[in-house]
């Protein structure tokens, strides 16, 4: 019997089973499962020259180490992105500053990031400056996704954006030495497809792993490893203090682990490249968190 439909394991959209890659997210069709014993599934990198369709336009992924997203915009269709990821654009593509309803006030390495938009017809090429994966997330009308700060690459014009202050933080020191740390970043980005389906493009340094959490299922991950999650997934800090140490006075200082607890149901994705939270000083305050000493 001929299979007429194929549901992509990575974007959860119906695809053509005869194609070499999913036309919605670029993932290879029928790729061998790569699932760890803990339940994480490695998302395959989008192949060089894979083509992804959205509306009347399409994009082509070029390269594998630091992939380039080459958009071919048709008619008056448009995308928006941060200025620092722009590589080149056709003379026919119309570039301008973008004024998003959710506002945009973002810094990277001490420099402000400017949101831009590009309208067709014409080609626009974008790329981040880290080796890793480009992740294509097709969003159906009304579907929302939370994305960690600085993982956003581009989105089609029919995807609305707003930012929110991070609710995950902890404090070290006191008085003039008091400092608030945001292991997920100070802000989080929320995207929703309004009116019609759209495409959200992210960049994930290193390899990317995805997992579907069941209702009430929990996992612990390094905070800076999180790439995106469904809005149904709840998050809070989990702090561990190992007791079996040769010098007990160090337990509340450097001998601790700061985790992010994720609670299902919903889909989550993590990257293999991450930075552990700072741990040189004792934690004197934090947002809602669970604690464990062992």
What's the confidence (pLDDT) of residue 24?
A: 74
What's the confidence (pLDDT) of residue 108?
A: 62
The two tokens of residue 133 are 């994966």
What's the confidence (pLDDT) of residue 251?
A: 45
What's the confidence (pLDDT) of residue 150?
A: 87
8 Å CB contact between 252 and 282? yes
What's the confidence (pLDDT) of residue 196?
A: 85
Tokens 């552990």 sit on residue: 276
Q: Say how far apart CA 284 and CA 258 lie, in whole Å.
A: 13
| Residue 60 neighbours by CB distance under 10 Å | 18
Query: Virtual CA dihedral for 37, 43, 47, 52, nearest 10 degrees?
Result: 150
Which of 24, 45, 17, 44 has the alpha carbon at shortest distance from 33? 44
What's the confidence (pLDDT) of residue 270?
A: 94
Q: Say how far apart CA 135 and CA 152 lie, in whole Å.
A: 10
User: Per-residue pLDDT tens for 116-126?
Assistant: 899 989 999 99
Q: What string of DSSP letters covers 91-150?
A: TTSEEEE---TB---EEETTEEE-EEEEESSEEEEE--SSSEEEEEEEE-TT-EEEEETT
8 Å CB contact between 247 and 214? no
User: Per-residue pLDDT tens for 141-153?
Assistant: 899 999 998 899 9
Q: Residue 291 half-sphere exposure, CB side, CA atoms within 13 Å?
A: 11
Q: Say how far apart CA 127 and CA 87 lie, in whole Å.
A: 7
What's the confidence (pLDDT) of residue 213?
A: 93
User: 80: which residues sit within 8 A by CB, 6+ positions away?
Assistant: 98, 100, 115, 116, 117, 118, 154, 155, 157, 161
State phi, psi for 175 to the nearest 5 degrees: 60, -135
Domain ranges, ordered by start, for the chain: 6-293
**Count of residues making up the chain:** 294
Which of 69, 40, 37, 64 has the alpha carbon at shortest distance from 52? 69
* CATH topology (fold) of 6-293: Double-stranded beta-helix (3.60.160)
Element (H, E) at 266: strand 266-271
User: 238: which residues sit within 8 A by CB, 6+ positions away?
Assistant: 220, 258, 259, 260, 261, 289, 290, 291, 292
Q: Which residues of the chain have pLDDT under 70?
A: 1-6, 15-18, 30-38, 99-112, 243-255, 277-280
């Amino acid at each position: 019997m001929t299979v007429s439909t194929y549901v992509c394991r990575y974007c959860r959209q119906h695809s053509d089973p005869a194609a070499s890659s999913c036309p919605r997210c670029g993932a290879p069709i029928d790729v061998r499962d790569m699932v760890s014993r803990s339940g994480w599934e490695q998302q395959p990198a989008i192949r060089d020259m894979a083509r992804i369709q959205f509306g009347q336009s399409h994009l082509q992924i070029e390269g594998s180490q630091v992939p380039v997203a080459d958009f071919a915009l048709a008619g008056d269709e448009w995308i928006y992105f941060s200025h620092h990821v722009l590589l080149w654009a056709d003379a026919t593509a119309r570039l301008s500053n973008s004024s998003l309803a959710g506002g945009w006030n973002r810094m990277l390495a001490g420099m402000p990031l400017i949101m831009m938009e590009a309208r067709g017809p014409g080609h626009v090429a974008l790329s981040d400056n880290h080796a890793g994966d480009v992740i294509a997330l097709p969003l159906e009308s009304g579907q929302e996704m939370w994305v960690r700060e600085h993982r956003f690459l581009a989105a089609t014009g029919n995807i609305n954006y707003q930012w929110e202050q991070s609710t995950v933080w902890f404090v070290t020191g006191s008085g003039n030495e008091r400092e608030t740390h945001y292991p997920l970043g100070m802000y989080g980005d929320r995207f929703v497809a309004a009116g019609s389906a759209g495409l959200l493009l992210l960049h994930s340094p290193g390899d990317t792993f995805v997992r579907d959490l069941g209702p009430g299922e929990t996992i612990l991950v390094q905070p800076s490893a999180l790439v995106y999650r469904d809005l149904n997934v709840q998050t809070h800090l989990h702090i561990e203090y190992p007791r079996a140490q040769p010098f007990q006075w160090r337990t509340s200082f450097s001998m601790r682990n700061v985790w992010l607890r994720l609670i299902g149901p919903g889909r989550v994705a993590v990257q293999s490249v991450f930075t552990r939270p700072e741990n040189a000083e004792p934690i004197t305050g934090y947002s809602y968190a669970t604690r464990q000493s062992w």
